[in-house]
Structure 1
Amino acid sequence: MEAAKARQRFAFEELFIFNLRALARKKKWQEQQTPVKIEREKFAKELGKFKKNLPFDLTRTQERVLAEVFADLEKEVPMNRLLEGDVGAGKTVVAAAAAYLVYLNGARSVLMAPTEVLADQHYRTLKELLSPYGVRIALHTGTKKEKEGDEFDLWVGTHALFYKKGDFGKVGLVVIDEQHRFGVRQRAQLFKKAQTGKVPHILTLTATPIPRTLALAVYGDLDLSILDELPPGRTPVKTYVVPPHKRENGYRWLGEKVKKTGGQAFVICPLIEQSETESLKQVKAATAVFQNLKKFLPHLKIDLLHGRLKSTEKEKIIQNFREGTTQILVSTPIVEVGIDVPNATVVMIEGAERFGLASLHQLRGRVGRGEKESFCFLLTESEDPKALERLKALEKEQSGFALAELDLALRGPGEISGTAQHGLSELKVADVTDQHLLKEARDAAQNHFAEKC
């Protein structure tokens, strides 16, 4: 009994100190000033027109989050907000509206994505949404760079933005997508290129849902907005776990489905080449699956995408898939975020037990983006009851937030992308699935901080 009490006390103290550090970082951030004054009321007419002309209606959640972001932009203290959104919840349009308001106020924006595939997707979407209003948009990646001397209002790119010659001019907003894939030093380097010496507003996007109580602990120095409502018209993706003896039937069904409906499909594999490593013996390499599928479904146009291809090759393969020339795309998890093809209605995931629930949910989110009935098949050779329990959860649950709660309970916080670099690995005693203790420590830290500061 005494040992349990002592453990609880140590756990509380760990979380208490963890929260105090976050609050200290937040206070330091609030001492910064923004380089540009943003006014919203002055441009109410333009913002109203932008919203009215969108090809879809904003959800109530998007409207609420947009109001939170606009309110932050009007302050002199720079925004430092994390926008968590489930797959397909519409984070990009929030970033677009924020960048448009910054543009109307005479400043520039920068959007940074972790991969060329995702940067290219953002560039296409933002160009479609903002070009009609005169916003000049540049794409800057390892393989694509705009001509020097050209003027732009919004820069979209990868880490190549860090090494861009010259600076960006007067930057009012930096949007960082999937920030856990960027180091703290890299982000600081980007701010230096904002020229003014002051800190621009920061909006961080993530499609990796983190349970709210854990997010408040991990990202205590950021303000939190959550998009958990999907746009109307999205159909739930029917999800099935497929055992080894049904694999061939699954691929046969896939061929018939694609041929009959004119839809398209993804087949996702964890590795590029066959591996001799014992622990990876059962994982089907993308190259081997690609060759097998071509033999099995010779009447269909099948292509292969992986990270080791040259950027120009990747681009061509993705373009062919977008245009419908390719019917089945065999790929490594490079497509986890960034390829939006509404005509794709089936995703088959090989070696599904090797992925976390968050990654599987992301991959499933590549389909179900139109109104057509969509399917996700989780192929596994595992007979481990725990692994099968995790996969079965996807059959029942469509919410990324509910799945994140489950992953946290089953596998711990280390499996939630991005939490490791925020110091959770330092916690030796505290159990971060204990929501009551998380809240208690957070409240105590806030009260203590308020008294001392």
Structure 2
Amino acid sequence: HVLVMTATPIPRTLAMSIYGDLDISIIDELPPGRKEIKTVWRSDAHRLGVFKFIREEIEKGRQIYIVYPLINESEALDYKDLMDGYDSISRSFPAPEFQVSIVHGQMNAAAKAYEMDRFVNGKTQIMVATTVIEVGVNVPNASVMIIESAERFGLSQLHQLRGRVGRGAEQSFCILMSGNKLSQEGKTRLETMVASSDGFEIAEVDLKLRGPGDLMGTQQSGVLQLKIADIVKDADLLKKAREIAVTTLKSDPYLENSSNKPILLAYRALVKHKNIWNYIS
């Protein structure tokens, strides 16, 4: 009765599929005429080379997204910010030869719509933005997604941002920019993005890094304290257990066979409690 569609499965969605709430169907083909997005990871030392590449793509008539994690500079966080980035991009790609749009969450709706329309209609070649462009933006002519301080973003968000390009027939690119000091988890996320474009493969790594979250609530990630099983290490065992459960219920839906009596007794004991999810193991 319910169909859930997603390009980027969050850890909780993947966990729910393991526990049988969702059956998985994977569409692993690109729409006709589209090419797989080439993803690379570059440090700040390669910035001049990246700018040269941007210029080459614009000369081909393409458009560019540059996404920042912060709007303004932060004393607490050592990440690239949009306002400083916008100034730098405007100096490197000066008017009137180049036109640059800017969009972020603190702008009013009319200003955002104006800037988005300019980019959609090809009046600007570069869109400097925060993650407000993560969903709902479709510009087939945009061929390059540059994500600044990419180590700051989660895997599902990186995958979602990458999906803003590759919507036309031309080859598209995603460039993950990072500083030199990265945590091991940050390195794993960026290496995963370079290695894979498969949403479920990326979600499996995300599940290992962040945990499955709350299966019955809204928390999308975090530790799930099961009594016995580990949802990552025991994934194959959990899938096998589910298959056996499905087979058992098909052959003996009311658990009337003597061999299934222990299961029936355990089930009756569990359903006396209001929330039996606490007893999953």
CA shift digits 1:33-64 (9 cap, x unpaired)? xxxxxxxxxxxxxxxxxxxxxxxxxxxxxxxx
Q: Is 1:246 equivalent to 2:59 in the alignment?
A: no
The equivalent residue for 2:230 is 431
Per the TM alignment, residue 450 of structure 1 is displaced from its structure 2 partner at its CA by: 3.8
Query: What pairs up with 1:338-357 in 2 under 5 angstroms?
Result: 338-357=136-155
Q: Is 1:274 equivalent to 2:73 in the alignment?
A: yes
Query: What pairs up with 1:283-294 in 2 under 5 angstroms?
Result: 283-294=79-90
Aligned-partner Cα distance in 1 for 2:225–2:146: 37
Aligned-partner Cα distance in 1 for 2:65–2:192: 21
What's the C-alpha RMSD, in Å, of the aligned pairs? Answer: 3.0
Gaps of 5+ in 1: 1-78, 87-206
The equivalent residue for 2:114 is 316
Determine if contact 1:218/1:424 at 8 Å carries over to the other structure: no
The equivalent residue for 1:407 is 206
Aligned-partner Cα distance in 2 for 1:338–1:223: 26
The equivalent residue for 2:63 is 264
User: Which amino acid is the alignment partner of residue 125 of structure 2?
Assistant: Q
Per the TM alignment, residue 384 of structure 1 is displaced from its structure 2 partner at its CA by: 3.4
Aligned-partner Cα distance in 2 for 1:363–1:263: 17
The equivalent residue for 2:273 is none
User: Which amino acid is the alignment partner of residue 64 of structure 2?
Assistant: A
CA shift digits 1:269-309 (9 cap, x unpaired)? 011111121xx12x111111011110121131011111121
Aligned-partner Cα distance in 2 for 1:210–1:389: 16
User: Which amino acid is the alignment partner of residue 234 of structure 1?
Assistant: R
Determine if contact 2:103/2:115 at 8 Å carries over to the other structure: yes
* Matched-pair identity in %: 36
Q: Is 1:378 equivalent to 2:176 in the alignment?
A: yes
User: Which amino acid is the alignment partner of residue 311 of structure 1?
Assistant: A
Q: Is 1:208 equivalent to 2:208 in the alignment?
A: no
Q: Is 1:326 equivalent to 2:124 in the alignment?
A: yes
Q: TM-score, normalised by structure 1?
A: 0.49
Query: What pairs up with 1:122-133 in 2 under 5 angstroms?
Result: none
CA shift digits 1:243-290 (9 cap, x unpaired)? 1211232123212321x111000000011111121xx12x11111101
Instruction: Check 1:441–1:341 CA distance in 2 against 1; reply closer, same or farther (3 A cut).
Output: same
Instruction: Check 1:231–1:419 CA distance in 2 against 1; reply closer, same or farther (3 A cut).
Output: farther
Report how many aligned residue pairs link the two structures. Answer: 248
Q: TM-score, normalised by structure 2?
A: 0.77
The equivalent residue for 1:183 is none
Q: Is 1:83 equivalent to 2:22 in the alignment?
A: no
Aligned-partner Cα distance in 1 for 2:98–2:220: 46
Aligned-partner Cα distance in 2 for 1:369–1:315: 21
Determine if contact 1:211/1:404 at 8 Å carries over to the other structure: no
SS of the residue corresponding to residue 240 of structure 1 reads strand
Structure whose residues are more often helix by fraction:
1
Aligned-partner Cα distance in 2 for 1:217–1:333: 30
SS of the residue corresponding to residue 413 of structure 1 reads coil
Per the TM alignment, residue 217 of structure 1 is displaced from its structure 2 partner at its CA by: 3.9
Highest RCO, 1 vs 2 (Cα 8 Å, sep ≥ 6): 2
Instruction: Check 1:443–1:268 CA distance in 2 against 1; reply closer, same or farther (3 A cut).
Output: same
